[in-house]
Structure 1
Amino acid sequence: MGECELCGAVKVSVRNVRTGKTEVTACTKCIDRMNLMPKSEAPGLVQARQRTSRPMARPRKNDLMTRSEKDLADDFSQRIVNARKERNWSQQQLAKRMAETANIIKSAENGKRPTDSVIRKFERTLSIKLMVEHTPNETRQVRPGPSRGMTFGDYLNDTR
């Protein structure tokens, strides 16, 4: 029992039908009057849906305390330059070995953060560590802030 979206009849048996490109719920009177076809799927599609079952999704663990975070080292550009110079490679040679452009090498050596995939290529090609464990070096405490001052509502409450 439902409501027909075409004529507005309430508490009637309805079916899902297609009108043009739209799918609506319609009562049997409207289906007969407008010569609509009930929504149906191809038989092969129904069988395929029945055969394939979705695997159970495991809930992801987002425990912030146990997850180890890695951040890009503050001196990553210096590490890249030093490792490249140890091997006596030019920026173009390093770019060729990494299958990247020389501009990416130059911008990384100038301190612009590269993408994660380029960071992994730097680490692999130069045998260096650019990603370091993130350890918070400060402790944070929540303290009450300064008083908010008087609002218009406070003023009205005081006058009463």
Structure 2
Amino acid sequence: MECEICGKPVPEHNPIRAKIEGSVMVVCKECSKLGKIQKAPPKPRYVQQKNKQQKNTKKKTYSRRDEPSEELIEDFSNEVRKARESKNWSREDLGRKINERVSVITRIETGKMTPDNKLTKKLEKTLNIKLLEEVNNVDLNQFINSSSGERTLGNVMKIKRK
């Protein structure tokens, strides 16, 4: 087993799980200092037997096709504010045109709120701007560290910097 951040070996019999930036990861001792160490999940006391009359519920599996092909640009808040100001509209005017509250417009322009896809499309159409950009599907396999053979956060960070 390897550390999900740096790729160093982690003992399989006693892995360290740490919550770092909201994600629980298996990490080495050095990387565990970056977050809060988590307790091992409790073992279930009993196993519930399935009822034969229970409905078959299919679990949704995600493939690469389900991944979003567009993502919000980094400085969307400035773009929205500039476009609104170039049309000489107040926040109230923009809110009325897209049927949203002024507080929503204010939070978007200050960067305190990230608009969902529906609201982003409304802003793009009304302000004649482009807020969504195509995501490049990078093949992560070509960037795998040859010595470890697995993907780690460190490898992904190297990809992002390129």
TM-score relative to the length of structure 1: 0.46
Larger radius of gyration: 1
Question: Which is bigger in relative contact order (C-alpha 8 A, separation at least 6)?
Answer: 2
